[in-house]
Amino acid sequence: MGRLTGKVAIVTGAASGIGRASAKLFAAEGAKVVAVDRADAVKDTVEAIKDNGGTAIALSADASNERDVAHFVDTAVGEFGALDAIYANAGISGGNQPPFFELTADHWRQVLDVNLIGVFLAIKHAARVMIPRKKGSIVCTASVAGIRSGAGGGPYSASKAGVINLTTTAANYLTGTGVRVNAICPGIIETGMTKPIFDYAEQRGTKDRIGQLNPLKRYGHPEEIAYMALFLASDEASYVNGQHIAVDGGLTSSMPVTGRIGR
């Protein structure tokens, strides 16, 4: 306990799933948390934190809107005196979309605005207040879909590949500032975003088959991503920078095969 004691952290997409789990974990580890989301349920996240003795405030904001992003960064500094870490986690899948060649530019813009431009804005405004202090950790949510095809739709996958590249690019733009930028690439995690997949599998009686393509042969849970975010946000990761780290049960460790040697 106490890995973020004395630190101030922002978590976006904190109303549910990975964001909620991360906000609660950060607070449990001593951080003062600014929990951000468009959904009103972000208030429930903060109530849960306070019920456990933590410190947090909830803000309703659009992670793809620069004015909103600047506001929640300034609020963190205004309320708690600093900003040590931001977890730019807010993202969307794009919902049920038409086949690839029937996608429109609007489909792409909707996803890219939140998943990629929103992350850029988080990096831009967090760095603005971190650089003068010569320290800070920026953590971004990418995806295994940004590493290889087959884990998401075209716009979603491209947006997450963009986050991976943005992470390395930003880390180098911030050379010498003491500010670190890293990305997490979750595999299949049971969250609100993946609920349709899990609901469909539940109806078919095949939920136990979700995640069977990775060596652990299971799907993941939001808390398992939150612990990686905690590590990257903490001083324990002081020499980790410009990286994208897959937390996927080993899914991206191998190309698809029909069998395994030794079976």
Residues with catalytic function = 156
Structure tokens at 254: 């191998």
Contact 248, 221 (CB under 8 A): no
Tell me if 252 sits within 8 A of 245, measured CB to CB: no
For the chain, state the CA radius of gyration. 18
Cβ pair 73, 126 in contact under 8 A: yes
Q: Are the beta carbons of 183 and 139 closer than 8 angstroms?
A: yes
Joined tokens for residue 137:
């950790």
Q: Which two tokens stand for residue 70?
A: 């600047």
Enclosing H/E stretch for 87:
strand 85-88
Q: Which helix (H) or strand (E) holds 37?
A: strand 32-37
Q: Do residues 73 and 125 touch, judged by C-beta distance below 8 A?
A: yes
Spatial CA neighbour of 140 closest among 86, 97, 213, 74: 86
- Pairwise CA distance, residues 33 & 54, whole Å: 9
Asked if residue 22 lies in contact with residue 11, where contact means CB atoms within 8 angstroms, the answer is yes
